Amino acid sequence: MVSAPHAYSPAQTAAVAVAPEEQPDHWVGKNIMAVVRVYGQPTYWTANHEGAGNRYFYDNPDQPHFVFETVPGGMIVNAAKVP
């Protein structure tokens, strides 16, 4: 007996969906204070001497780990999710 292939079920894929705020591109163009409201203060930050902004590092337990680069004024221009 040959079984039919499994049908696509949105309910099955919904379990692996990632919240928008866990995607790096979600933050680009927003102010770093928007990140602070969601994830709290960064673990640490450094001055970005290449572009005169700052780099903010988030590596708190039980939260996504990110690096954000901002320009003066706090607008995020680059964001990366790190393992």
68 domain-assigned: yes
70 domain-assigned: yes
Helix (H, G, I), strand (E, B), or coil: what is residue 10?
helix
Residue 70 lies in domain: 27-82
CA–CA distance, 10 with 14 (Å, rounded to integer): 6
41 domain-assigned: yes
Tell me the pLDDT band of 4, cut-offs 50, 70 and 90.
Answer: low
14 domain-assigned: no
pLDDT of 23-76, one tens digit each?
999 999 999 999 999 999 999 999 977 768 999 999 988 889 999 999 999 999
pLDDT at 77: 96
21 domain-assigned: no
Torsion sign, CA atoms 68, 57, 65, 80: positive
- When divided into structural domains, the chain yields a total of 1
Q: What is the DSSP letter of 43?
A: S
Answer whether 71's CB lies under 8 Å from 53's CB.
yes
